[in-house]
Every structure is written in structure tokens, then in C-alpha cells.
Chains A and B, each alone.
Chain A
Amino acid sequence: EAGVTQFPSHSVIEKGQTVTLRCDPISGHDNLYWYRRVMGKEIKFLLHFVKESKQDESGMPNNRFLAERTGGTYSTLKVQPAELEDSGVYFCASSPSADRYEQYFGPGTRLTVT
């Protein structure tokens, strides 16, 4: 069984540019989460999809961040325009409906905004 995959693994962009991160959850997992770790700090929740619907987006920092989940499969997280403080590692996780607490994490995308 393939795990959670994320693309790209690294991204370096300039302030003001746009970046789109992609997450492919484990097949059949209805729940998809985005988290972020800023350097030296804790991993913080961004948002939670159940299938294609946003269940909880209380962690989204501001309206420069836009998350979508097309057809309840893969998800994208777009940052537009990027700011320096957006740098960090963005993790995606997925879990099945039967046990939404058993979250499987991807390797993360390291975003550097210069």
C-alpha cells in the first residue's frame, strides 16, 4: 500500500511569488489534514478535509493560503503571494473514516521563501 506522498519535496521561491503544494493521501482515506512546522517551533494544524469538504480550517493563517481537495482525492495548498514567514515544512496526513485518529503522515514539503 502506497503511503501519503507530497510534491515537491523542496521549494525555494521569492517573496511575492506563488507556490502550490500537492498531497496524495492513502487511497480510500476520507480524511486529509495539512500541518505546518515553522523552524524550531511545534507542528501546527492548518486544516482538515473530509472527502472534498473542509471540516475545519481554523488553523489557516490568513487568506493568502488556499486549500482544495479535488473530488475527494488529492489536495493542493496554494500560497499566494508568499511571505518570508511562510517558510517551513508543510506536512500532509490522511486517515480512514473508521479511525480518523490514526493519521498517516507524508514526508513533508520544505518551503523556503527568500
Chain B
Amino acid sequence: AQSVTQLGSHVSVSEGALVLLRCNYSSSVPPYLFWYVQYPNQGLQLLLKYTSAATLVKGINGFEAEFKKSETSFHLTKPSAHMSDAAEYFCAVSYTGTASKLTFGTGTRLQVTL
């Protein structure tokens, strides 16, 4: 069975500071990994995905994530936070193969302060 753990349900950073949102996964087969963001009153938007190509994945809005197999991690980072980054972020995993359903973590709400 696959699962995702997101450490920290709430993270607060100052504007301009580094954003680091943690995600660890458990999967018995090579995973596909995703980060989604949900802004207030909107649906989930795909930030980036790892599908067994380059381990450092760049996404939209300046975010990137690095797949580390040895640590079973896929942490999301952004060098400099902006007020508009305030949202809830979800890490998700899927199997390779025929099934494509996503298994999500519990989400991390990012607050950006002045």
C-alpha cells in the first residue's frame, strides 16, 4: 500500500524567506509524485510532478521539488516566499502502471507574513 506523510499541517514564513514543505512517501513500486496547491475557493492546481525523469523537478510559480529515493522524500521548496503563495499544499503519490488514482497527504497550510 502506498501512503504520503506531510510534516506540519501549518507552516509560517516571512515574505522573502525560503519555503520548505516536507513530504515523505511509502510505495512498494516506483512512484509518481505530485505537488498540488489549493488557493481559497478554488480547485487543486498541479504545481509539479515527478514521473521518473530528472530527480529535480521545476514547477510553476518558482517552486521545485527533489525526488530522493534513499530518503523516500519529495520536499517542495521555493527560494523566496511571496504573499501570493499563501495556500494549502498537497503532496500526492500514484503508482506506475494501469492505476492512476492519487493518494494524498493531509495537506500543509502555508502562511506568508510581512
- Could you list which residues of chain A lie within 8 angstroms of chain B, going by C-beta atoms? 3-4, 31, 33, 35, 41-45, 48, 56, 59, 91, 93, 95, 100-108
Per the bound structure, the CA–CA distance linking A44 and B44 in Å amounts to 13
Q: Nearest 9 CB-CB pairs, A to B?
A: A105-B44, A105-B43, A43-B104, A45-B101, A100-B100, A107-B43, A42-B106, A42-B104, A106-B43
Q: Are A101 and B43 in contact (CB-based, < 8 A)? A: no
Does B11 count as interface, using CB distance less than 8 angstroms?
Answer: no
Taking the closest CB of chain A, its distance from the CB of B89, in whole angstroms, is 12
Chain A residues, Cβ within 8 Å of B77: none
Q: A41-B106, A42-B107, A105-B36 are in contact. Are A91 and B43 (CB under 8 A)?
A: yes
- Could you list which residues of chain B lie within 8 angstroms of chain A, going by C-beta atoms? 4, 32, 34, 36, 41-46, 49, 51, 90, 92, 94, 99-107
Per the bound structure, the CA–CA distance linking A35 and B38 in Å amounts to 14
Q: A91-B43, A102-B46 are in contact. Are A35 and B100 (CB under 8 A)?
A: no
Q: Are B100 and A101 in contact (CB-based, < 8 A)? A: yes
Chain A residues, Cβ within 8 Å of B101: 33, 45, 48, 56, 59
Chain B residues, Cβ within 8 Å of A59: 101
**Residue in A closest to B32 when the chains form the complex, CB atoms:** A101
Chain B residues, Cβ within 8 Å of A44: 104
Taking the closest CB of chain A, its distance from the CB of B97, in whole angstroms, is 11
26 of the cross-chain contacts (CB-CB < 8 Å) are A3-B43, A31-B100, A33-B102, A35-B102, A35-B104, A41-B106, A42-B107, A43-B107, A45-B101, A45-B102, A48-B100, A59-B101, A91-B43, A91-B44, A93-B44, A101-B51, A101-B100, A103-B46, A103-B100, A103-B102, A104-B46, A105-B36, A105-B43, A105-B45, A107-B41, A107-B42
